[in-house]
Chain A
Amino acid sequence: MTKRELIEEVVHARTDLPRREVEALVNGVFDTLSDALARGERIEIRGFGSFIVKRRNAREGLNPKTGQVVAVHAKRVAFFKAGKELKQRVDSRPVDGVAVDGVAVEATRKAEPARTRTPSRKPASATPEVARASYGMAAAGGEE
């Protein structure tokens, strides 16, 4: 989806609003986000995620083609971190592909409507010891 398509979608969802108004609002959203990041401000959109700006020190880099040393100036870099809800929604359908032990996992991707939640991610038989990387929590230190 592009910004133009996003605008179209909002126009269709809100036929009561003039297109001009929708365009100005949607463009305004991203301009406002850009401005905030330019000021170094943190942005937090509930259920979506957050943007932060980090500083990168000046360093000496190498031109990969010539091997020449070049100065890389200090700069600011924007980072996005998906919020909990978005992270879960993006990862809600089972991932098809091949398990580590070589057992193919069924491709269930397009079969399901986008909105369904799938609590168990894969056929249990295919990857019996699959564990989410819950390091720390799984550390059964003094349990016994």
Chain B
Amino acid sequence: MTKADIVERIYEKARASKKDASEVVDAVFEMIKVRLERGEKVKLSGFGNFVVHEKRPRKGRNPQTGEEIVISGRRVLSFKASQVLKGTINSGRPISSGNELDGSGR
């Protein structure tokens, strides 16, 4: 699913034009990015939370050369699904035992 698919699925129900829907979808993701860029948390009730974590510098080792290096501090983004989303994902389709989900990205 891409942004275009999202627009297709929401514009009619919202009684918006496709163009407006598309622009609002773009704005939504851009606004979220701006907040995360500032290090803010973004909490989307019913969906999940995006949180920026600060990582302190730490010592690491190049596994190929064994050389010790300092891995600089950095910020990383994490997403935590809400209880609602966790429930939605697990409702409906039974969980098969073998390899499932062609969309699993693996």
B61 to chain A, nearest CB (A): 9
Instruction: Give the interface residue-count category, chain A.
Output: 35 or more
Contacts of A50 in B (CB 8 A): 105
Q: Is the CB of A91 within 8 A of B74?
A: yes
* Known pairs A21-B20, A40-B101, A55-B104; A78 contacts B89 (CB<8 A): yes
Within 8 A of A (CB), among B29-52: 29, 31-48, 50, 52
Contacts of A141 in B (CB 8 A): 64
Q: Is the CB of B104 within 8 A of A78?
A: no
DSSP majority for the B interface?
mixed
Q: Is the CB of A38 within 8 A of B25?
A: no
What's the Cα separation between A118 and B95 when bound, in Å?
A: 46
State which of A78, A90, A139 has its C-beta within 8 Å of the C-beta of B86: A78
B82 to chain A, nearest CB (A): 9
What's the Cα separation between A11 and B16 when bound, in Å?
A: 14
Contacts of B91 in A (CB 8 A): 38
Q: Is the CB of A139 within 8 A of B85?
A: no
* Known pairs A10-B31, A130-B57; A89 contacts B36 (CB<8 A): yes
Q: Is the CB of A48 within 8 A of B77?
A: no
Q: Is the CB of B70 within 8 A of A80?
A: no
Q: Is the CB of B13 within 8 A of A24?
A: yes
Contacts of B50 in A (CB 8 A): 80
Contact with B along A26-46 (1 / 0, CB 8 A): 101110111111111111111
What's the Cα separation between A48 and B6 when bound, in Å?
A: 14
Q: Is the CB of A21 within 8 A of B16?
A: yes
What's the Cα separation between A62 and B6 when bound, in Å?
A: 41
A residues neighboring B (CB under 8 Å): 1-3, 6, 9-10, 13-14, 17, 21-22, 24-26, 28-30, 32-55, 74-80, 82, 85-87, 89-93, 95, 97-101, 105, 109, 114-115, 121-122, 127, 129-133, 135-136, 138-141
B residues neighboring A (CB under 8 Å): 1-3, 5-6, 9-11, 13-16, 20-21, 23-25, 27-29, 31-48, 50, 52, 54-60, 62-65, 69-79, 81, 84-86, 88-93, 95, 97, 100-106
Which 3 residue pairs are nearest across A and B when measured between Cβ atoms? A28-B10, A80-B79, A24-B14
